[in-house]
Chain A
């Protein structure tokens, strides 16, 4: 079976079957990332990410890992989209206000822990959310995240810790 990177070499040569194979292999992981990263536009960005993969195939360096490159494209699209839609504005509110707001909108109120956490992750500031998703769910190393997001490795680490502490803080405040 071809590795992801070998498949990309075939995509570079215009092989349609190689694209199909990559989409099939990565669809659930990519969609899982997008749903948490940008839930309201995950469907759009799923398709957009793969089109970018094909269009930019020639710039892919097969000595790099495909997964890092794929998440980099997806994450950049999420950022662009957030910027365009000025969603950033809402992230400036305190996390607590976000949760109250969401809780008021959700009906009926009793939520299980998972759904609750899903909302809390979504309420994290974008810079914390992206590193948390890549590290925790997609198990990228700190070095790979640094590469994917384009920030120094030390920053990745501090943002990860910050994200976990923010989630903990939110839970404590919700319980209080």
Chain B
């Protein structure tokens, strides 16, 4: 069998067919008929196949299955009552959701700072200082609160979306 005969390929495919429980392809069988080396392999593989059988399953003793079930149950109960694990893909989803809000955050902060700094000066002509301070504080609280609400909700949204996707994948 030299490198320029088809035997190498034929023999590889005969083995692949055995591994996949398939019949060998007709051209390979035809070649084997007229080639000693490949015919010998084909015949040997029939023996190997017959010897291996196909039965992947073997029934364990029922008593052992029962013991196993008891052991797994107690392992399940003993397992640290850990907080629910973060679903797979959560971090990626959160990073994706954070990208846009983080990008505009500097602009939002700059805007709020401008309002506080120059708004106070403008209003000074009409309102007493105490009222301006109160207004400024209320504005800062409202702005800070909405930022916290936006960023605080993102992990919740990311968690929900990831779980939804996992349900779809495994449905």
Asked if A164 and B45 sit within 8 Å, CB to CB, the answer is: yes
Known: A19-B76, A161-B12. A138 touches B18 (CB 8 A): no
Q: Of all chain B residues, which has the CB nearest A8? A: B170
Which range contains the number of B residues in contact with the other chain? 35 or more
- B166 x A14 contact (CB < 8 A): no
* CB interface residues, B 96-118, toward A, < 8 Å: none
Q: Which residue of B lies closest to A43 (CB)?
A: B64
Question: Are B58 and A171 touching (Cβ within 8 A)?
Answer: no
Q: Within 8 Å CB of A120, what residues of B?
A: 51
Quick one: which of A140-176 are within 8 Å of B by CB?
Answer: 160-161, 164-165, 167-168, 171-172
Structural contact, A136 and B52, CB atoms closer than 8 A: yes
Total contacts A to B, CB within 8 angstroms? 127
Contact A28 B170 (CB under 8 A): no
Main secondary structure of the interface of A (DSSP, over half): helix
Q: Among A11, A47, A62, point to the contact of B88 (Cβ < 8 A).
A: A62
A23 touches B65 (CB 8 A): yes
A32 touches B68 (CB 8 A): no
Closest to B52 in A: A117
Q: Which of B19, B61, B166 is within 8 Å of A63, CB to CB?
A: B166
CA distance A46 to B50 in the complex (A): 27
A62 to B168, CA, bound (A): 11
Min CB gap A130→B, angstroms: 14
Tell whether A69 is near chain B: CB-to-CB under 8 Å. no
Are B58 and A28 in contact, CB atoms less than 8 angstroms apart? yes
Contact B51 A113 (CB under 8 A): yes
Taking CB atoms, residues of chain B closer than 8 Å to A35 are 58
Q: Mark B28-65, 1 if CB is under 8 A from A, else 0.
A: 00000000000001001101101111111111110011
Interface residues of B (CB under 8 A from A): 12, 15, 18-19, 21, 41, 44-45, 47-48, 50-61, 64-65, 67-69, 71-73, 75-77, 79, 82, 84-85, 88-89, 166, 169-171
